[in-house]
Structure 1
Amino acid sequence: MNGKRGMHYVGWKTLCKTKASGGLNFHSAVSRSGPLKARLSWRFLQNKDSLLYQVISAKYGNNLWDATNRRGSSIVSKILLEGAQ
């Protein structure tokens, strides 16, 4: 092959750089996870008619915010707790 075809691997940090710096201006999902969790928690608290609220409140009742010490607590409850912080 003449080197023009094939897959070229580039690190994620390089892809997240601005185009002027040689990247593709991608945004890292890790850096945005905190605000997304906070937004989900806010919507959870504001919309008590949602399916998510009904399912979580049926499982945990009013003790959702104490679920950090429980074994077997769902990933959704952990995300809501992290977003509330």
Structure 2
Amino acid sequence: MSSILPWVGGFAAVLTSLSYIPQVRKALPRSSTKDLSLKMLVVLTSGLGLWIGYGLLKGDWIIVLANSIGCALTATVLGCKIRDIRGEDSA
């Protein structure tokens, strides 16, 4: 049973990490993040960063890798959201 655990964790990591890709694709065009919450993106990106730290402390590469990908993708969406907010303020 324990030999299947890394595979289950790895598959879960791939699915959850890649789930952010459609949101990134939607957020990349300017003014496309109006329906996204800034607070949610800050909290989610921060939480994923903390999971990276947790994974490093535990020495669990699946946790580190999955959350690094997720954090990079959500940080991209967060960056797009901030870009769009700044664009609204200067308009």
TM-score > 0.5 by shorter chain: no
Q: State the structure with bigger RCO (CA 8 A, min sep 6), 1 or 2.
A: 2
Q: Which has the larger radius of gyration?
A: 1
